[in-house]
Homo-oligomer: A and B are copies of this chain.
Amino acid sequence: MNQMTRIDPALETRMANAIRALAMDAVEAAKSGHPGAPMGMADVATVLFNRFISIDPADHRWPDRDRFVMSAGHGSMLVYAINHLLGYDDMGMDQIRGFRQLGSRTAGHPEYGHAKGIETTTGPLGQGITTAVGMALAERMANARWGDDLVDHFTYVIAGDGCLMEGISHEAIDMAGHLRLGRLLVLWDDNGITIDGSTDLSTSTDQQARFAAAGWHVAAVDGHDREAVAAAIRAARADQRPSMIACRTVIGFGAPNKQGSHDVHGAPLGAEEIAAARRVLDWPHDPFSLPADVSAAWAAIAARGAAARADWTARLDASADRAAFLAAQGAPDAAALRSAIGEYCHRLVADRPKVATRKSSEMALEVINATLPRTIGGSADLTGSNNTRSAGMQAIRPGDYAGRYVHYGIREHAMAAAMNGLALHGGFIPYGGTFLAFADYSRPAIRLGALMGVKVVHVMTHDSIGLGEDGPTHQPVEHLAALRAIPNLQVFRPADAVETAEAWEIALTSEGTPSVLALSRQNLPAVRIEDDGTNRSRRGAYVLRETPVERDLTLIATGSEVEIALAAADLLAGARINAAVVSAPCFELFAAQDADYRRGVLGFAPRIGIEAAIRQGWELMLRPEDGFVGMTGFGASAPAADLYRHFGITAEAAADLARDLIQGGH
């Protein structure tokens, strides 16, 4: 890097003050926002960018760029100010002026996809630092695959007190320390202030000791002493462990009457205080205007990045791996995957295995992982239960990143957030397993992944009371509904091995949407016993068994309950009631079909939905007068078969309800 570059201290001060001015002016114009963190961390961020970071605003997707994550997302104006100063072409002054306004790229919190220079969406605290763990892991994994010439970058994080108080930070720190992610560098904005007031109100943790306990390199500096900050970053970069630098800062630095207090955290400073700050900072420039030398100094950072990228491109062009490397950055080969899955399903239709869908998932993964080298498996310490590790998958270990399997530990939340980071980094498609009931633990990161549209697959087994004896704490009853509620998230609940493979295919080829696979613990019979030669799950729901004559009833089921629907149809056939059976592995995909298709599938006869879960979310499939066989409250601890009987989720119950419905005169 550029440790040799001569730094002009006065100019660097003004480079930092440019961030402060843009932050306070934009917040003032918006009449809302958080000036405190950008003003407090302006010196640290300026040192980081001016002396270390290598990015090229002309190519925000350059794979070997350094990643910068503003985990304290409320300090978004720090990101926007820097990106404006660096010259990103989508971050003109109009965007700074339009901070927090409808249609601007400058949302209240940084939103991935809104502007080029935003590496990840942050705001919910602790997400950024944990996503960054995934990015830093991806960097090492890519390095292990492609070598130092092509992959050699850092992941820098600015984290606030809130990020370090949130539980997810523990999972992140524990994981990063264990995996020795030495390219991860966290700059803690140690300003001693939270919204309620002094951090003394709620915490006494010695953060340096805490990070050290997890195997991190730690240091503490005055966050306004730029040489000290630079020295600490230099030492951190040289250390083989992940690093945390406690940067003691004054929140709202430069606002003479408000700095250092929680008043400056999340509200505009006001015209008077801004005027006072301009005097204190010796910043006589108008709002939203920048002196040429400061602009030039920031532009030089971009130029340095452009040069680095040019060097890198030369290395890439000279590399034997060039084509393979570039291919790995793009979308996966959907045709190859379709071919492999199609052939595999062809065999399944012949074999008709009666296995749990978690096992079906493992079988599908044997095919998928052989076809797509970029998949990265893992589990939150339930590998043998989630069936997420296909044959020959080597574990990633501290210092050895050549493997494809991550032991995420008992850290569902970090797993989901780190997977977001793996996906955002590029070059990998992560999937990770836990029990469906523990989707609640990872929910904030699942949501953030949906908001960002990353390609991540959440493998969630033990998907109903069918898990049996573990009881109500472990039995999801509302989790399917709760996940279906999240926008831009595909929730699959496949019925057998074929549907499971189809769900995997869709998940892995859906650009811009994460997926959840809800999988059974218990064995399920094959229900897709004809070789359709096509992925029927793509339409979300389809007629699995049509009636020979006009339907008297449509039974609609998902996952483990499709078997029950088929058995109920058999029972009803005995009573001369013609019941079609619809399998509905993905409500979201079905909702996206045209009305004709949906009407064709659902029919006009009375309907019964069958799912070992609550009815909420079934309004897409059922009218109020239709029936539902499922759960109305929490589960219980007993063998699975006993529970299905106890809660009345049986073919007999469905058939009885069908007779009631039909005789009830619908």
Contact = CB atoms under 8 A, between A and B. Distances in A.
Contacts of A407: 196, 201-202
B196 A178 contact: no
Nearest to A103: B638
A659 to B, nearest CB: 22
A599 to B, nearest CB: 12
Interface string A102-138: 1110011101000000000111111000000000000
Contacts of A624: 619, 623
A431 to B, nearest CB: 16
Contact of A196 (B201, B381, B443): B381
Nearest to A73: B473
B121 A473 contact: yes
Contact of A634 (B73, B122, B383, B488): B488
A466 to B, nearest CB: 13
A468 B30 CA distance: 11
Interface string A69-108: 0000110000000000000000000000000111110011
A484 interface: yes
Contact of A167 (B124, B168, B385, B487): B168
SS class of chain A's interface: helix, strand, loop or mixed? loop
A471 B409 contact: no
Contact of A381 (B195, B207, B614): B195
A637 B170 contact: no
A470 B123 contact: yes
Contacts of A469: 30, 32-33, 100, 108
A409 B213 contact: no
Contacts of A32: 468-469
B171 A165 contact: yes
A384 interface: yes
Interface of A: 30, 32-33, 73-74, 100-104, 107-109, 111, 121-126, 161-162, 165-171, 174-175, 177-178, 194-196, 201-207, 209-210, 212-215, 379, 381-385, 395, 398, 407-411, 413-414, 437-438, 440-441, 443-444, 447-448, 451, 468-474, 477-478, 481-482, 484-488, 614-619, 622-624, 632-634, 636-639, 642-643, 646
11 contacts: A33-B469, A73-B473, A126-B167, A178-B205, A196-B381, A204-B214, A204-B215, A205-B215, A448-B473, A451-B472, A616-B619
